[in-house]
Amino acid sequence: MANAPKNLDVVHLTQALITRPSVTPVDAGAMDTVQQVLESLGFTCTRLKFGEIENLYARRGTSAPNLCFAGHTDVVPSGVRNLWRYDPFGAEIHDGAVIGRGAVDMKGGVAAWIAAVSRHDDLSGSQKGSLSFLITGDEEGVATDGTIRVVEWLKDQGEIIDHCIVGEPSSSAQLGDMIKVGRRGSVNATFTVTGKQGHVAYPQRALNPLPVLVDLLGALKARMLDDGYDQFPPSNLEITTIDTGNTATNIIPQDARARINIRFNPAHTGAQLCAWFDEVAAQFAAKTGAQIEVKSTISGEAFLTEASTFVDLIANVIKDTLGLDTDRSTTGGTSDARFIRALCPVVEFGLVGQTMHQINECVAVADLEALTDTYSALIEAYFSKFGSSS
């Protein structure tokens, strides 16, 4: 693909990516497809493999500012095959939509930005700058060998990214109706309470871990974490599992476990919440005599990309191209934006996410084409605003 044509077909590129069954951590050639197209467009590509994960950083141009597009080529499993109307990796078009796993999350978004870039020559003249791509194969997995490792590599290389667009399916019901300017943090904790097994008829000879665990969870749930934060909803704690593995009816179990998750706004840090878990566990252990072990994992910290010329530029392009006043949101789960924000201001803007991770995931052809047009307008507007004069 040494001489790729201008105006790459976004639909064909989306189909080419979907037909690569790149279920995390398997790449299945998806990154090769991206690299071949980008090299044909004049990008210098660096493949970065960490563990089993294929990653790619590509750049065209050497001057500032550097506008980066970040995305992922890995997808979640397709689920039960016979529930799909069509092959989840066949990328067939039916009723005006491309059907397949990853269509909106987020191979369609990757294809749309690449197609938009194909409309722009190397930046020259009075407006200068660079375009880059940060593409990972580990967004849908544990995210330990993906974007977070590439960000570390970029820092080590002294590579500067000035602003970043993450192509996650941020739109809610209509293309462009929502962008993400921040995300809540996420922390998981597992509590294991160890008591003493015994016969239910002789509770004085045992120490039942279940009431201890239930009371501990009740204390955690009773705390009002906050009543919200600027542009964020209140933080919430959810109990996601409780179990003992006890199959007998006449045994007080030896131990019991529970797991919780907190989605938190910038009123907290992950470290503060983990310290709180340890404090509450120690209090209940001292009061009951049970042993309580806590294992906590911080998946990401809360962040907000403050109102700025960059955020306004994206909103204005959406208004001019799609005719919508976009909602600047912080809702949803975590994304790789939580790692990229260590480098530069980051905003998520992509396709409508209503079918992501679902059976029969699909993207409207019209949305792919409209997103490509909007991305193209965004690239032009960005370098007109931020491009350095020669």
> 3-state SS string over the chain?
CCCCCCCCCHHHHHHHHHCCCCECCCCCCHHHHHHHHHHHCCCEEEEEEECCEEEEEEEECCCCCEEEEEEECCECCCCCHHHCCCCCCCCCEECCEEECCCHHHHHHHHHHHHHHHCCCCCCCCCCECEEEEEEECCCCCCCCCCHHHHHHHHHHHCCCCCEEEECCCCECCCCCCEEECEECEEEEEEEEEECECEECCCHHHCECHHHHHHHHHHHHHHCCCCCCECCECCCEEEEEEEECCCCCCCEECCEEEEEEEEEECCCCCHHHHHHHHHHHHHHHHHHHCCEEEEEEEEEECCEECCCCHHHHHHHHHHHHHHCCCCEEECCCCCCCHHHHCCCCCEEECCCECCCCCCCCCEEEHHHHHHHHHHHHHHHHHHHHHHCECC
Residue 325 is a catalytic residue: no
Q: Give me the catalytic one of 105, 138, 139, 361.
A: 139
Does residue 140 carry a catalytic annotation? Answer: no
Q: Which of 27, 54, 74, 162 is catalytic?
A: 74
Active site residues: 74, 139
